[in-house]
Amino acid sequence: MKFGVVVSEGPYTHQAADTAYHFVVAALAAGHEVPRVFFYHDGVNVGTRLSVPPQDERNIQEQWSALAREHGIDLVICIAAAQRRGMLDEKEAERQGKDADNIAEGFRISGLGQLIEMGIQTDRLVMFGD
């Protein structure tokens, strides 16, 4: 089975990003496919490279980046939600006249079309968060 996953709550304030991560790990271990995870609303905050959790806590962003690298998962951050929260990739930072970007390795910014495409191309769409 091919799953599409949506994460719409931020890390460290809600369990959605952690639960989604463990769902994807379990789905892959069971032989399913997860070609894309779409981060929406506050879920886009999972993809910042500037978060620094305490050393004795899990680093949700690094977990997602490693999972994407290992399994070729497309981690997409909604551009509108990201811009509202001050998250920019290199290209968008330049376009907006900002002096820095903050998107983590393995994540990319794109539009809602990627969410719609994911819904069409997968067997099930699973949402974590509101």
> Is 78 an active-site residue?
yes
The tokens for 82 are 């990201």
pLDDT category at 130 given cuts 50, 70, 90 is confident
> Helix, strand or coil for residue 10?
coil
Count other Cβ atoms within 10 Å, centred on residue 57: 8
Q: What is the pLDDT of residues 52-78, one digit of tens each?
A: 999 898 999 999 999 999 999 999 999
The catalytic residue among 78, 81, 87, 115 is: 78
Q: Hunting for tokens 């890390």 — which residue is that?
A: 11
2-128 folds as Hypothetical Protein Ychn; Chain: A, (3.40.1260)
CA-to-CA distance for 14 and 52, rounded, in angstroms? 17
Provide the pLDDT for residue 38.
Answer: 98
Q: What's the rounded mean pLDDT across residues 7-17? A: 94
b vs e for 30-44, b when ≥16 Cβ sit within 10 Å of the residue's Cβ? eeeebebbbbbbbbb
CA-to-CA distance for 42 and 9, rounded, in angstroms? 5
Q: What is the pLDDT of residues 85-115, one digit of tens each?
A: 999 999 999 999 999 999 999 999 999 999 9
Q: Hunting for tokens 């929406």 — which residue is that?
A: 40
Q: Break the chain into its structural domains and give their ranges.
A: 2-128
Query: Which amino acid, residue 86?
Result: G
Across all residues in the chain, what is the average pLDDT?
96
